[in-house]
Chain A
Amino acid sequence: NAGVTQTPKFQVLKTGQSMTLQCAQDMNHNSMYWYRQDPGMGLRLIYYSASEGTTDKGEVPNGYNVSRLNKREFSLRLESAAPSQTSVYFCASSEQIRHRSYEQYFGPGTRLTVT
């Protein structure tokens, strides 16, 4: 099993460009998440999907959109990239968001630079 995979690994965008970050998991998990990690800050939740067909905003959703394409895939879209969105983006998945001790499994991350 590959676990959680993310593409691309690296990306450089110009301000105003758009792009979609892809995430897939092969663990049959119900819940999926997008985080960003910035220097000196803990991971912050952008959006999550508790189950197929649902998405909800996290702590820092502005400037992003998501799509839960099916149970396996959860994509993050930047419609008009800004330098403030320069960050490392992590996708994660878990069996069930409401399970008391649910474990989140993280992908390898996408390093995005917006110039």
Chain B
Amino acid sequence: KNQVEQSPQSLIILEGKNCTLQCNYTVSPFSNLRWYKQDTGRGPVSLTIMTFSENTKSNGRYTATLDADTKQSSLHITASQLSDSASYICVVRRADKLIFGTGTRLQVFP
């Protein structure tokens, strides 16, 4: 079954700390993987898109990694800010469809 699983479900960190969110997928065939940020009450906004040939991709303080062999991805947030409080959703493309994970809810406290 084509699935995208994320961990942890929720995470609380202090401002300025780093954190890493995990994504495991069983989607096949795989076209690309993307990470979205969804603020409360808003629609998802894309952070990165990675194809199977890309191992690492950065967008400011966000760095995504991809291991297509083990079907794992991670999103690392450096020097967290209060504005990073949001849900982070891992999404895998299969053919013309996007398969969404359930997200990790990140809360950053001062």
Contact = CB atoms under 8 A, between A and B. Distances in A.
Nearest to B32: A101
Contacts of B101: 42
Nearest to B51: A101
A4 B43 contact: yes
Contacts of B43: 4, 90, 92, 106-109
| Majority secondary structure of chain A interface residues (helix, strand, loop or mixed) | loop
A95 B108 CA distance: 34
Interface string B38-58: 000111111001010000000
B96 interface: yes
Contacts of A98: 96
Interface residues of B, number: 20
B7 to A, nearest CB: 14
Interface of B: prevailing SS:
strand
A53 interface: no
Interface residues of A, number: 23
B4 interface: yes
B107 interface: no
A50 B97 CA distance: 11
B47 to A, nearest CB: 11
Given A4-B43, A98-B96, A40 B102 contact: yes
Contacts of A60: none
Given A43-B100, A90-B43, A104-B98, 19 more contacts: A40-B102, A42-B4, A42-B99, A42-B100, A42-B101, A43-B44, A43-B89, A44-B100, A45-B97, A45-B98, A58-B97, A90-B44, A100-B32, A101-B32, A101-B49, A103-B49, A106-B45, A109-B41, A109-B43
